[in-house]
Amino acid sequence: MDAFFASVEQRDFPELRGKPVAVGGGGPRGVVAAASYEARAYGVHSAMPGSLAKRKCPHLIFAKTRFEVYESVSRQIREIFLSYTDLVEPLSLDEAYLDVTENKFGLASATQIAKEIKQRILEETKLTASAGVSYNKFLAKVASALQKPDGLTVVRPEKAEALVETLPIEKFYGIGSVTAARMHALGIHTGLDLKQRSLAELSKHFGKSGLYYYEIARAHDDRQVNPNRIRKSVGAERTYAEDLTTAEEMDERLKPLADEIAEYLLEKNNAGRTVTIKIKYADFTMNTRSKTFLSGIQSAELLWQLAKELLRTPFVPQLPVRLLGISVSNLLSEEEARFGHQLAFPF
């Protein structure tokens, strides 16, 4: 979807149309969750502090997040996907992979299916989407971002390697800003630069990810579209309007985070073995603390107690805290989630 959260706000509130809009980020500690294309023209983007966004675009309009609305629209779009194929792998509320090799309408052209889906989304939600069509997930993902908004990019096999060679590595799915900076330091700026490095060299610098980078530089990606993929982790975090300075304040703020995560785990009948807390200080430095258990954790009360213990391990933060987060990872496998798991006394 194109600027999904912001586009929903512009759809529902006509006075926002054609204007620079940022969803979230309105408070002194706020962070932009999404930016309209009008705001992006000023350099505003998601994950940017609201104060910086306002400096870049003084007439920026902040809209309050309405996640229940975005989730409702996402379900509507997902139903359109599923009317064509059951092989739908969601990446987020506004994005998914579809394998249409065999589809419910017997259409031979994936490009035609993409056009139909885009048109149905527009008719049924009044929102635009961009699509990438190719023979593997990496190429389809990259293609989907090349002609936003309302784009449709097709990457055919005979053109794939040439396209990848010309791309800046920042355009590669799976290469974030930190990895891109490391690659730049090694003289890797484009897909062609990446392709010229050996597997041994990439593995030396990037570990297990080296093989992935080696393959995508050659337009190879054998991953299947997996409609039953189980999430690897679930988390929640909050940035606070005023810094937290005492353990009691931090304990209090951890509880709603634990409740939110536990509610999701209970709904999905899942649990996780690893609990992590994230602490961001007033000077923007960050610290994480984790602990792994033999059995899965699902209870809100237990999760809160563990988070409070981690907060004090090895000691309560000595600097003012601007953000706290909790995540649960090492989730149960699909089989464990379906058939149950061993419980343990929380000694």
Binding-site residue set for Mg(2+): 94
Find tokens 């389809």 and name the residue.
Answer: 140
Binding residue positions: 94
- What are the tokens at 212? 């992935």
Contact criterion met (CB below 8 Å) for 301 and 308? no
* Long-range contacts, stretch 112-120, CB < 8 angstroms, 24+ apart: 113/84, 114/152, 115/152, 116/84, 117/80, 117/81, 117/84, 118/150, 118/152, 120/80
Determine whether 201 is an active site residue. Answer: no
- What are the tokens at 327? 């995540």
CA separation for the pair 228, 231 (Å, rounded): 9
Dihedrals phi, psi of 287, to nearest 5 degrees: -145, 140
Q: Which of 38, 68, 95, 334 is catalytic?
A: 95
Q: Could you give the residue numbers annotated as active site?
A: 95
